[in-house]
Structure 1
């Protein structure tokens, strides 16, 4: 499968323009909360924010041991960094609320939320899939993110930023492999995120496809027959730091891929701001 390019340059590895050590990408003084922070790209995202100057980061995940390992590693690499960990399934409103309340009490209101937690249910064709198993995609990817957004609104700073980590699978034509629950629920979550942005204009909202990093979830996709070349996990982590920076303000409300070259997108700034490019809609209709 080949992806249609949006920018002239398509990246699979990190590059200088998105380096989190660039002064213009600094997140010093910002309170950052990351879901799915113990495994996959979550620890790399947290590390990128720490490299960009953030010293107050909360990570949520379902496994205490992986969260503790991430916390220990990050605090050893970045002197002065404080990481709070919360064992929380995002489908649990009480656990998510506790994480935000505790973060706000320890660090202050949340400035940046990275909604990275997601679920890829077991692959199965629609004709024979177990209904309860199929709906778990909606429980996590839709309901879980709604719970997250509500807690964020209640405990965010005056002008916060939300990055919803989605997938290009939500936008592509249907393919064999039995991953309909994942694709459909992620599409629904992306549209819900659009509504959240429209209803809460004070929040800078962006949706990001993180490429195809070598994670357990993407390995699961490979097992289902969706074989794509892996991208360097640092690419998506560094790109997410760039996307919350002032340089990317013009991409508010857009669906962006971490593979796209940021300088090429900046060159398209006027075109993007004045059009509905990179937003969800009905193809072939104004």
Structure 2
């Protein structure tokens, strides 16, 4: 199925690498004007992690430098996006993540930074985005990228899991307040193959009903659906992109 986003503007936070890069590329391929943000430009020597601007269909995403944990920077980001493209139809709050940490010894500073990136930053960017979208006849769509950790925490993820659980509730609250002009939805992303090193999550695949871990394209395609006209009645929804979750432990230990 071909989904056409020609004439629409999409902003993807954390869109220079990983899942965000694929989300941005997917919207570009669908015809959208795409802007991505990050703390460092992919074109500067300061970026050493192999990031690059997403490209598709002979077009390249535009880049705006921003630390979305800073409320003023988040407002400026949205203002720059509108200045560059003239409108804002879709916001994908993708920036997030955290290294594992022992909850018994982790520093308050670490906790603050994890919560700021995974919960506060999406709120900071969504506020100015909502103001822009409400001024447009066609409104807009905001998509928050969550994690299964927000529903089923794993050891070492206390701050991250709490922040992601908050993001799901934030999504539902904003949907109540901002509908019908602006739709706000959530994706619960499952374990990514890239998070499991060389085997790509092969050892984990056996506990997932779909028989494999997720790849970024799974999340990107879900974003394309939620942002488009096919999902025009969806707001406050949580789309679980996790391959069916995990088999219950009691099933795994008793199956033949």
Pairwise TM-score range, normalised by the shorter structure: 0.7 to 0.9
Following the alignment from structure 1 to structure 2, what is the Cα–Cα distance between the partners of residues 254 and 43? 23
Following the alignment from structure 1 to structure 2, what is the Cα–Cα distance between the partners of residues 118 and 109? 25
Equivalent residue, structure 2, for 1:65: 42
Match of 1:154 among 118, 131, 134: 131
SS in 1 for 2:16: coil
What is the TM-score normalised by the length of structure 2?
Answer: 0.78
The Cα of 1:251 is off from its aligned counterpart by 3.2
Equivalent residue, structure 2, for 1:184: 162
What is the TM-score normalised by the length of structure 1?
Answer: 0.71
User: Does structure 2 retain, via aligned residues, the 8 Å contact 1:121–1:133?
Assistant: no
Equivalent residue, structure 2, for 1:19: none
SS in 2 for 1:178: coil
Deviation track 1:87-126 (CA, whole Å, cap 9, x = no partner) reads: 21111223222221121112112100000011314421x3
SS in 2 for 1:65: coil
Q: Which runs of 5+ in 2 are unaligned?
A: 198-202, 206-212, 245-256
The alignment covers a number of residue pairs equal to 224
The Cα of 1:57 is off from its aligned counterpart by 0.8
User: Does structure 2 retain, via aligned residues, the 8 Å contact 1:38–1:60?
Assistant: yes
RCO (CA 8 Å, sep 6+): is it higher in 1 or 2?
A: 1
Aligned-residue RMSD, C-alpha: 2.5
The Cα of 1:163 is off from its aligned counterpart by 0.6
Structure 2 residue 73 is the aligned partner of structure 1 residue 95:
yes
User: Does structure 1 retain, via aligned residues, the 8 Å contact 2:6–2:30?
Assistant: yes
Following the alignment from structure 2 to structure 1, what is the Cα–Cα distance between the partners of residues 43 and 188? 24
Equivalent residue, structure 2, for 1:133: 110
SS in 1 for 2:42: helix
Equivalent residue, structure 2, for 1:214: 193
User: Does structure 2 retain, via aligned residues, the 8 Å contact 1:41–1:237?
Assistant: yes
Equivalent residue, structure 2, for 1:256: 239
Following the alignment from structure 2 to structure 1, what is the Cα–Cα distance between the partners of residues 151 and 104? 22
Structure 2 residue 225 is the aligned partner of structure 1 residue 242:
yes
